[in-house]
A and B are shown apart, each in its own frame.
Chain A
Amino acid sequence: MIRRSRVLCRAGSALVLMILLTPSRASAIPAFARKYGLSCTACHEAWPALNDFGRAFRDSGYQMLEGKDNPTTTAPGYIPLSIRLTPHYELNMATNQQTDQGMKTLKSGSISDIGLDLLMGGTLSDNVSFLVVPTGFTSGEGVSLEAAWVRFSNLGGSSWANLKVGKHDVDLPRASHRTWTLSQTGYLIYGYHSPGSVSVYDLGENQRGVEWVGHDRGSFTRAAVSVFNVQGSPGTRSAFDTPGVYAHVTREWLFDSSGLSAFRIGGFGSYATWPTSTLTEDNEPIPGQGGDLKGSSKVGFDAHFWFGPNVTPAHLIVVFAHGQDNEALIPDATRDGTFNGGFVELGYTPTLRTTVFGRYDVIRNGTQGVPDNPQNLNDKDAETIGLRHTFNFTSRAEYALHAEFSTMRTQLAAADGSDTRNNTLFLGIDFAF
């Protein structure tokens, strides 16, 4: 029996919740620093966010291209493995939550189950590289593969022909796995859908598929296109039966200036399908049997400004996107849902050890798929501020104090129609070796 299923809607909501409750893990890979003898500051503007040199290294397939990339050039004892841990205390508060005792503010806080990332990455030979990241290792969740890909670089001797195959992070305006923020709020625009949409496609989630990347020397001009099967889709039963595509083009200019030292502009877009029906058994969805694919899309631009010396910059990022969900993705909808959103992020790194950062995320719904919904249903505003102070960074290990506070208001989201607010305080030690 095939039917549009509310079960799908509930499953989608559960997935959204699961994703939101999973802190975004970022990547910084000391194994590369060990291999090339560089400090983490060489590749990271402020760990784990990449600088231009680190971005060019990544775009070259984790290669310096100076004859020392092949694993046969490293010491026999070298293992391309790093470990990242972030033991932390996290306090969460959510207002206007429905309980049997009425609308209440719920609080929870604990020293979270630490978990860890095993970052295995490097080269298999000249121009063939890989990354495998098992993550989790917590008592409740087990282990999952955050990334697992092989990349063939410089095909035909051209830096414009690089092909990555496997589960990979798409080329976002701001990589959600290499961001300064670690709390649950995340970049709202990446995963947002119109209210009620069953799709949980999230730009920030790694996707299984193929990515083509091309770039000039230094990666100042670059383009990336990913074709993938949408992560988390209940329709998944073969490689591309819930297809999606994402593309991003950027151009960066450096200035011999003490004011604006660099500027980058980019455009991005995505189209991802999601099943709107499924085969069921005893009214329960049969895994992997979704159908009637409908699409959601996002299109936007990003602008990066680096002020001051590019060694100790103030980095301002502006991202804006327009999104749309097909009406068939939204139960009871009679029209497509649309929204606009984005974020402004500022990080200032006055010394190599310290970065202060802040971000404002915003979501504004345009057209509600369900006409009776108020237009501002599920509009969101989030503010995040924080500090990272690295105590030690060498080519072997790094550890940093991370303190962050974020607050997010969601309009009309409570059961009684009032707004909700989620606050998160995050204090931890982030280290990798």
Chain B
Amino acid sequence: MRGIWCTGLGLVLLTVAASADEQAGNPARGKAVYGRYCVSCHGERGDGAGESAQYAMPRPRDFRQGTFKWRSTPTGSLPLVSDLERTIRDGVYWTMMPSWYPLSRRARLDVIAYLQTLSPRWKADQPGEPLAIPPEPSRTAESVARGRAIYDMQKCAQCHGDQGAGDGPSAKTLADEWGDPDPPFDLTKGHMKGGSTGENLYLVFMTGLNGTPMPSFAETIKPDEAWDLVHYMQSLGARKPTTP
């Protein structure tokens, strides 16, 4: 009896060890992952026109464009695989994109490899260099006040409103690259779309959200000013910052 158990355990370990070989994504396997989990929103062709897309706001990503919002790379550039993996793993808050955390990392890498076959951009371009994020300074009343001053100076209120409620003068006119309405985010909701940690917000200011009216401020504000802005944004939220 003991022999049977040992043999079984050995076979299991052998199966794991023998095949734990691939770390890069496999697009063929990724297509199967996409078919199971993604197709109802992003569509058979990856064009963001799945059966549920008409009910989603914002609309699902059209992967043929090679344009991605949540990145650690400079504005306009392709994201890193790790950026895409983070979006898949954690989801996008306040949208139809759920967190696919229960999927294996391999499944996530596979589906990313498949997404990279849907746009010619992935052959022509390389992802940009990831932005270096300096250590976050302490959040103080002073840093929040400085952040408010930057908020005013950069005219954030034009879109997000004076109190950050997403009701600025331009709010109703904003649209994304595909012509869909893209109202500015209500910063008082507490939980930010791309995650509420300081680093998440820092990246949004400094890389922008490709395809949307949200620009990058990397050329206009300094890193320490960006952190002040982060602290001001976090002070607007009704909830404490959360870990994605």
Binding site for B on A (CB under 8 A): 33, 36-39, 41-42, 51-53, 55-56, 64-68, 75, 217-220, 254-263, 305, 307, 309-312, 352, 394-396
Contacts and interface: CB of A to CB of B under 8 A. Distances in A.
A256 B104 contact: yes
Contact of A66 (B18, B21, B51, B99): B99
A254 B16 contact: no
Contact of B16 (A55, A66, A218, A259): A259
Contacts of B175: none
Interface in B98-125: 98-107
B32 interface: yes
Contacts of B101: 56, 217-218
Interface in B61-99: 91-99
Given A41-B36, A67-B94, A254 B104 contact: yes
Interface in B28-43: 29, 32-33, 35-37, 39-41
A433 B36 CA distance: 19
23 contacts: A37-B41, A38-B41, A52-B103, A53-B100, A56-B102, A66-B98, A67-B94, A68-B94, A68-B96, A219-B102, A256-B20, A256-B22, A256-B106, A257-B15, A257-B16, A263-B12, A307-B15, A309-B107, A311-B32, A311-B107, A394-B40, A394-B51, A395-B52
B94 A41 contact: no
Residue of A41, A254, A256, A263 contacting most chain B CB atoms (<10 Å)? A256
Contacts of B100: 53
Nearest to A73: B94
Interface of B: 12, 15-16, 18-23, 29, 32-33, 35-37, 39-41, 50-52, 55-56, 91-107, 189, 191
B99 A42 contact: no
Contact of B191 (A42, A67, A217): A67
A311 B28 CA distance: 12
Nearest to B37: A42
A395 B93 contact: no
What are the 4 closest A-B residue pairs judged by CB atoms, nearest first? A37-B52, A259-B15, A259-B19, A52-B102
B15 A260 contact: yes
A3 B109 CA distance: 67
A67 B93 contact: yes
Contacts of B32: 309, 311-312
Contacts of A260: 12, 15-16, 19
Contacts of A219: 102
Contact of B102 (A53, A261, A352): A53
B37 A395 contact: no
A39 B98 contact: no
Contacts of A352: 35-36
Contacts of B191: 67
Contacts of A254: 104-105
Contacts of B55: 37, 75
Contacts of B33: 311
Contacts of A396: 51
Given A52-B103, A66-B98, A261-B106, 4 more contacts: A254-B105, A256-B23, A259-B19, A260-B16
A325 to B, nearest CB: 27
Contacts of A310: 103-104, 107
Contact of A256 (B15, B56, B94, B105): B105
Contact of A38 (B19, B52, B107): B52
A221 to B, nearest CB: 12
Nearest to A396: B51
B179 to A, nearest CB: 21
Most B C-beta atoms less than 10 A away, residue of A75, A220, A259: A259
A255 B93 contact: no
A256 B35 CA distance: 20
